[in-house]
Amino acid sequence: MAGKKFSEKHRLVYYDGDRTYHASIPMLVNLMVLASEDQSEQLGVGTSEVMKYGVGWVVTQYVMEIAKLPKIGTTIQLGTEATARNKFFCERHFSVTDDQGQTLMRVNSNFVLMNHKTRRMGNLIPELVDPYGSDEVKRLARLPRVRKIPDDQQEVMVKTYPVRYFDLDTNGHVNNSHYFEWLLDVLPADFLQTHMPTRLNIQYHKEIQYGHVVTSQAIKTTDEKGNMQTLHKMLVNGETYCEAECTWQSL
């Protein structure tokens, strides 16, 4: 598989980080999306071009493998590449590399084109995807499913998050990175301060909007290898909008 590669550098500054002195996951998501937006601009299919077709790119899933979170004060290289596509889905890879060339994170993701009027996904539009040079395939390798919180689960951590005005992007959509804030903030602060995510799989089912109150649920469990794991669900009015699983190690 091969598409055009793009990369850019970013200096991680104080507001990119959290108490562990590492870049926060929400900010790393911002930076990955920025790399893909900058690639799109470079290829002549940036936001303004995409909007002419009455559509917009929407992520449906991210699977992140995190070897090490980058430290604040360092400069990272953000890489991205649209690797493959079928009729509806694009697969896009991201990477985060430190200034020694060591890979810190590898991310796989799926994107679709959503129609702005109908709020539904549609066929990919050749004019908008051809420039990336990704492989056209019949079947895309399916990303692993997210493990669900069992229905009979007793002890669920829960917090609610009304969507804020500043959660909205320039295009009026909830910025992707805020899902990760709602997802992670529900965990106790002393856990977040002493643990690092090593794998995060997040699936977006429906679009959260301004006016919504997000209920973020999480449970602690272990994965099949005995690693610490948290399972997550975000609901609006009792309906599931987003699910995620996260594997952790002690810092």
Q: Enumerate binding residues for a second copy (CB under 8 A).
A: 13-15, 17-19, 21, 24, 26, 30, 33-34, 37, 72, 159, 162, 164-166, 168-172, 175, 177, 181, 184-185, 187, 189, 192, 210
- Measured from the CB atom, is 2 or 13 closer to a second copy? 13
Q: How far is the CB of 37 from a second copy (least distance, A)?
A: 6
Quote the tokens at residue 161. 């998050």
Q: How far is the CB of 17 from a second copy (least distance, A)?
A: 5
Q: How far is the CB of 240 from a second copy (least distance, A)?
A: 22
Based on its alpha-carbon atoms, the radius of gyration of the chain, rounded to whole angstroms, reads 18
Quote the tokens at residue 70. 């980058």
* 147 to 45, 68, 119, 151: CA distances (angstroms): 35, 23, 27, 12
The answer to whether 10 and 93 are in contact (CB under 8 A) is no
- Measured from the CB atom, is 30 or 97 closer to a second copy? 30
H or E element in which residue 29 lies: helix 25-42
- Measured from the CB atom, is 84 or 202 closer to a second copy? 202
* 81 to 11, 39, 127, 134: CA distances (angstroms): 21, 9, 17, 8
Q: How far is the CB of 100 from a second copy (least distance, A)?
A: 22
- Measured from the CB atom, is 37 or 49 closer to a second copy? 37
- Name the residue type at position 177: S
Q: How far is the CB of 58 from a second copy (least distance, A)?
A: 15
Q: How far is the CB of 7 from a second copy (least distance, A)?
A: 16
Q: How many CB atoms lie within 10 A of CB 153?
A: 13
The answer to whether 66 and 59 are in contact (CB under 8 A) is no
The answer to whether 111 and 90 are in contact (CB under 8 A) is yes
Contacts of residue 154, Cβ cutoff 8 Å, sequence gap at least 6? none
- Measured from the CB atom, is 103 or 209 closer to a second copy? 209
- Measured from the CB atom, is 62 or 85 closer to a second copy? 62
